[in-house]
């Protein structure tokens, strides 16, 4: 999952103090077939787990208020299996654009421990080796167990701090 956060150039919203810019968060969801990309997205947007998703959209737009801040989410769901190579391609592309999009590694279906093929340790090690963070979640569990809400509940500042820490790792200043 790649997250890019920036103030939106299109939207403004009214607050008690005046006009506040809406923050735009662009999220790229990469995952193997059946990983649960649709389930996680639908859970985040509707707070429901519906079980079967069929051929639904792969681009979602959703505005939510988190910590009194309006955030406009653009979520792109894309099938990709070779995670490590993909992480490196994203890093390479974002360095070329002088920006740093944080990458979050997610293990879904935490509720299905018996069928587990990747251990927590392997997930954590991959995250460390790729200067990333790792979460284990389940779309079946409650809304609050879902990664997007856990990361984003802290508001844009939460994401920005991930961006800042990754910028520090790469010694680059984040493009505003
Ligand atoms: N037990 C369990 N099942 C889940 C979880 N998340 C998704 N599923 C199920 O896994 C199946 C695949 O979920 P999808 O969201 O369609 O997966 P996807 O990654 O979008 O799949 P593709 O569109 O084929 O790439 C569905 O039957 C979901 O109900 C979870 O956390 N736990």
List, for residues 83-106, the tens digit of each pLDDT value.
777 777 777 777 777 666 778 888
Q: So what's the pLDDT on residue 120?
A: 92
DSSP assignment of the chain, as one string? -EEEEEEEEEEEEE-SSSEEEEEEEEEEEEE-TTSSHHHHHHHHHHS---S---S--SEEEEEEEETTEEEEEEEEEEE---HHHHHHHHHHHHHHTT----BEEEE--TT-GGG--S-HHHHHHHHHHTT-EEEE--SSS-GGGSHHHHHHTT-HHHHHHHHHHHHHHHT-PPP-
Ligand 1 lined by 54 (C-beta under 6 Å): no
**Counting atoms of ligand 1 from 1, which one is nearest the CA of 31?**
19
Predicted TM-score (pTM) of the model is 0.77
Ligand 1 lined by 107 (C-beta under 6 Å): no
- Flag the least confident range among 25-29, 100-104, 122-126: 100-104
Q: Which is more confident, 35 or 65?
A: 35
**Counting atoms of ligand 1 from 1, which one is nearest the CA of 141?**
31
Q: So what's the pLDDT on residue 141?
A: 84
Ligand 1 lined by 138 (C-beta under 6 Å): yes
Q: So what's the pLDDT on residue 106?
A: 86
List, for residues 43-74, the tens digit of each pLDDT value.
888 888 888 887 766 888 888 877 677 888 88
CB 67 within 8 A of CB 153: yes
pLDDT reading at 139 higher than 80: yes
**Counting atoms of ligand 1 from 1, which one is nearest the CA of 112?**
1
All residues at 6 or more sequence positions from 37 whose CB lies less than 8 Å from its CB, including other chains: 29, 31, 77, 78, 79
Q: Which is more confident, 152 or 78?
A: 78
CB 6 within 8 A of CB 73: no
Distance from residue 146's CA to the centre of ligand 1 (Å): 13
d(CA 29, CA 80): 9
List the domains of the chain with CATH numbers.
2-170 (3.40.50.300)
Residue 92 phi, psi (nearest 5): -60, -50
Q: Which is more confident, 173 or 52?
A: 52
């Amino acid at each position: 999952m790649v997250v890019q956060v920036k103030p939106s150039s299109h939207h403004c919203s009214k607050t008690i103090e005046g006009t506040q810019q809406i923050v735009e968060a662009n999220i790229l969801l990469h995952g193997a077939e059946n990983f649960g990309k649709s389930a996680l997205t639908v859970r985040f947007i509707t707070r429901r787990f519906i079980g079967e998703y069929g051929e639904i959209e792969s681009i979602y737009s959703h505005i939510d208020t988190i910590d009194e801040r309006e955030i406009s989410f653009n979520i792109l769901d894309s099938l990709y299996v070779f995670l490590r190579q993909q992480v490196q391609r994203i890093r390479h592309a974002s360095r070329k654009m002088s920006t740093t999009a944080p990458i979050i590694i997610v293990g879904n279906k935490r509720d299905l421990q018996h069928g587990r093929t990747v251990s927590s340790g392997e997930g954590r090690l991959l995250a460390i080796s790729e200067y990333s963070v790792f979460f284990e979640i389940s779309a079946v569990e409650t809304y609050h167990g879902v990664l997007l809400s856990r990361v984003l509940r802290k508001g844009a500042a939460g994401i920005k701090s991930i961006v800042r820490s990754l910028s520090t790792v790469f010694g680059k200043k984040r493009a505003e």
